[in-house]
Amino acid sequence: MPEPAITVLDGYLALSRAAADVAAGILAAIPRARVVVATGRTPMGLYRELAARASRGVLDASGITVYQLDEYVGIPTDDWRSLLGWAVRSFVEPLGIPLGSVIPVPADGDPAACAAYDREVERSGGYDLAILGIGTNGHVGFNEPPSDASAPTRRVALSSASRRSNAAYWGGTPHVPREAVTIGIAGLLRSRTILLVASGKSKRGIVRRAVLGPVTPEVPASCLQAAPDLRVLVDRAAWDGSVPT
Ligand code: F6R
């Protein structure tokens, strides 16, 4: 298995800038790149940094295709908590990417539509870049434990850990949707480069298990160790619990 490249940055700003350097390098080399875009708190600094570069004219992402990573089931796309809406607001619009270049996941999780989605990605050669965060339970996208390297794009039940960690957006855990649709780990492994970002002490431990521990469905992110080019960028709080000086 290829060795993951792990970079430990001093804090969130440095992490966001370093991650933007990686992403911008790939987007410059592949102007029509196919890019999987996570939402969540962690990549927002990275997206802001990319948007700042685009507005300074040093990054042109207008030709890329954006693939939504995951979505809650049963949420209208105009609900502010829709992950598609979040990706559009934080990544697509600020980078000047046409809305027509956004490929949503099959939001109702229809098995035939999910299988067709995976076949199409496979047929067109996979993704060029996947920008991912990691859940405190080791999920990537909404591939909850247990999920292994063969997991397809599918409808999933959200774990209680994931529902708890998203409670703030929904006014309490009971209001968080119970199901989601996610690109599967098998699809993510078809990405030429995976950029995994983690920040803060709540991720301490799980990131190490994901990148250095045994590959196990109990830590779905560990399956990414098989990716051809896995770049892991973490801040010190997420790596060893130390805080920047
Ligand atoms: C978001 C997603 C999730 C998050 C993960 C970490 O689209 O798929 O896997 O990346 O839950 O979330 P944050 O970054 O908020 O800690």
pLDDT in tens, 25-84: 999 999 999 999 999 999 999 999 999 999 999 999 999 999 999 999 999 989 999 999
Which atom of ligand 1 is nearest the CA belonging to 69?
A: 7
Share of the chain above pLDDT 70, in %: 98
Residue bearing the CA closest to ligand 1, atom 9: 141
pLDDT of 244: 57
pLDDT of 61: 98
Residue bearing the CA closest to ligand 1, atom 1: 39
pLDDT of 212: 94
Residue bearing the CA closest to ligand 1, atom 11: 135
21 is catalytic: no
Taking the CB of residue 101, how many other CB atoms lie within 10 A of it?
17
Tell how far the Cα of 158 is from the centroid of ligand 1, in angstroms.
13
Buried b (16+ CB within 10 A) or exposed e, 54-70: beeeebebeebbbbbbb
Tell how far the Cα of 187 is from the centroid of ligand 1, in angstroms.
17
70 is catalytic: yes
The answer on pLDDT for 245 being more than 60 is no
Confidence grade of residue 3 (pLDDT, cut at 50, 70, 90): confident
User: What is the dihedral angle through the alpha carbons of 203, 159, 182, 12, rounded to the nearest 10 degrees?
Assistant: -20
Catalytic residue among 49, 137, 143, 235: 137
235 is catalytic: no
Pocket of ligand 1 (CB under 6 A): 38-42, 69-70, 83, 133-135, 139-142
For strands 70-72 and 102-103, give the pairing: unpaired
Interval 94-127: pLDDT, tens: 999 999 999 999 999 999 999 999 999 999 999 9
pLDDT of 240: 85
Interval 54-67: pLDDT, tens: 999 999 999 999 99
DSSP per-residue codes, 139-162: -BTTBPSS--TT--SEEEEPPHHH
Helix (H) or strand (E) segment spanning residue 6: strand 5-9
pLDDT of 243: 63
Nearest-angstrom CA–CA distance, 41 and 43: 6
Q: Please provide the average confidence, as pLDDT, over all residues in the chain.
A: 96
Interval 175-189: pLDDT, tens: 999 999 999 999 999
